[in-house]
Amino acid sequence: MPRLNRRQLRMFPLAERQHKLVMDAIAIAPDAPPPALSADVKAQVEVAAQRIIAARAHDKPVMLTYGAHLIKNGLGPLIVRLLAEGWLTHVATNGAGSIHDWEFAFFGRSTEDVRANVAKGKFGAWEETGRLLNLAIAVGGTQQLGYGEAVGRMIADGGLEIPTPTALREAIAHAATQPTPDETLGALADLLYLVTTFAIPSGWLAIPHPYKETAVQYAAARLGVPFTVHPGIGYDIIYTHPMNCGGAIGRGAVRDFLSYADSVSQLDGGVHLSVGSAIMAPMIFEKALSMANNLALQHGHALADYYLLVNDIQDGGGWDWRNGEPPMDNPAYYLRFCKSFYRMGGELDYVCLDNRAFLLGLYQALRTQCRG
């Protein structure tokens, strides 16, 4: 079957891109005045804060899954604060959520004009983003890191240690002789392919990230909080770059999914927040919960006591999901992300609100209730 040869593509320096977003201009300060909320929405936010406080008081998980617009809306610094104060125990996003977060850490800017750049054949064809993220994931794979942790570690370390081809060949030969070689064998082979094919110099590759303090991946790596990435092959701009390696991406993403599933398996008494993720969050949650129940039922019980909150801007038609699933003639029935989460048991609440107002309001409610 014919395949497009990415090595024939022309990549462009990230500095040439006309960036639509600058972190200094969009960052939401965690200590900004709380947003004006309606009485109903304020009550929902207050309940969410209560559930989070109760969960953390009993050392239960509080998980946040989100789409890339959370980062593009300047909420990285607020998530960093939530992590630093111990409110979040697991953070999960899609591939774009990781990419924008990294670009802000590396360059202080992100996002491009998709329509104009597709017409020019330049959309996503950015050298540093494609080269460094793909390389970080491949290097991380040899260290048994998942996708998110590999990127976070690169930011935290300020670079990558690139093994020599000889060292990689020796490690592959050793791994292949083991009675039960693990998946590191494949990771070593993927990295050998990259360093030889693209003539990557061995040794320390310095990659400064001057804006890392606003990066969620950096904060998670520094604090030891799981940050998992759940990509779709071909969804993100790093698949444009010739150094993209399907084996490395798949290996890192599967490791991240299993880390996410492990957190879900401990969710009894905990909280799962889904912010602006209509597809990724409900899809990974339902598989992870089924796996968690498979294990829990072997010990006589399924998970049941958890609070699910979905935040998005799609009109929910005023339906209160705490009252059950709406009938098919109600528009809320077709909010697939709410319906998927509702069918997962536990208690579900849907907050129809801009994610900036929701997360800032939630953080302010956490602070207020703790002071009270």
- Residue 65: strand, helix, or coil: strand
Evaluate if residue 171 carries a pLDDT over 70.
yes
Residue (of 207, 214, 10) closest to 109 by Cα position: 214
295-345 per-position pLDDT tens digit = 999 999 999 999 999 999 998 778 888 888 999 988 888 888 899 999 999
CB 265 within 8 A of CB 295: yes
Q: How far, in whole angstroms, is CA 16 from its chain's centroid?
A: 27
Crossing angle (nearest 10°) for helices 39-57 and 355-371: 60
Which region among 112-126, 170-184, 217-231 has the lowest average model confidence (pLDDT)? 170-184
Q: How far apart are CA 91 and CA 84, in angstroms?
A: 13
Prediction pTM value: 0.97
Evaluate if residue 372 carries a pLDDT over 70.
no
234-274 per-position pLDDT tens digit = 999 999 999 999 999 999 999 999 999 999 999 999 999 99
